[in-house]
Structure 1
């Protein structure tokens, strides 16, 4: 399995793809990340065409088990970030 791409590598690849400087690519990446973070934190969703959809889902209150003691405890309702991968990306990975 290949190592995950670091932010520095992603910025370099983005700069090359855009034909721009690394500084501009880093600012663009940071801006996209900030927009996605803000929108999902407010309960919205963001779709990146060809990549997927980022959204927040609420999970109800539920019973969970402490693995160390086996004790059942009630976990409060919370929110979790979900990502649905786009069909185009799935198809490109699977050939």
Structure 2
């Protein structure tokens, strides 16, 4: 499912126009990003946790030359699914 499909589902389930659903989805995603950036964590019980994780510096290898390069430490966004999501995915029939 992509963002456009998500907007359509929200529009249908909430009985609102697609334009309103677009605003809701965009505002929700912007709020999650802002929360992760400022607080480092956004917790949605039953759904999951969006957080920032620290990646340590490490050595890598240039695939073209084989030369060893240093990769700097960085922060990366991460998502940890909650129990509700895990259970829903586990029950999905193939």
Q: TM class, shorter-chain normalised?
A: 0.7 to 0.9
RMSD, aligned CA = 1.4
Shift of 1:13: 0.5
Higher normalized helix content (fraction of residues): 2
Gaps of 5+ in 2: none
Shift of 1:49: 2.7
Tell me the residue number matched to 1:34.
30
Residues 30-51 of structure 1: per-residue CA shift (max 9 Å, x gap)? 1111111112123521122332
Tell me the TM-score normalised to structure 1 length: 0.84
Gaps of 5+ in 1: none
Moved over 6 A (4+): none
Tell me the TM-score normalised to structure 2 length: 0.85
